[in-house]
Amino acid sequence: MARYVDCCDTVTRVPPETPWYTHVGATVYIDSGGQLRTSITQEKIEADRTMARNEYLRDEAWRTGAVLVRDLADHASINYERALFPACEAG
C-alpha cells in the first residue's frame, strides 16, 4: 500500500502524527517538479516544500483566481493525476 503526498498538500499532514496515530502505507512523495520520489529524507522534503512555497508566492499567488498558498493549491487532484499518469497528459 502506498500513500501519495503532493509536495505542500496540507491535507496529507492531517491529522499530525502522534504516539497514538500514524499514517499508513509507504510514502511516495511528489516533489515540486511533479516527480515521484520513494527514497527521500524528511530534510529534503522540507527543503523542497520551502522552495516550492517561495516560488509559488513569487510566480502564482498574485494572479487573479489563484489559490493564495501552495499548501492548498497542491491538494488539487490534477497534481496527483499528472504525477501518476504522465502519458495521459500528452494525449
DSSP state of 66: -
Tell me how many domains the chain contains.
1
With contact defined as beta carbons under 8 Å apart, do 60 and 74 qualify? no
- Give the domain range for residue 84: 2-90
Predicted TM-score (pTM) of the model is 0.87
Residue 1 CB partners (closer than 8 Å, separation 6+): 24, 25, 26
Say whether pLDDT at 88 is over 80: no
Say whether pLDDT at 69 is over 70: yes
CA-to-CA distance for 55 and 41, rounded, in angstroms?
21
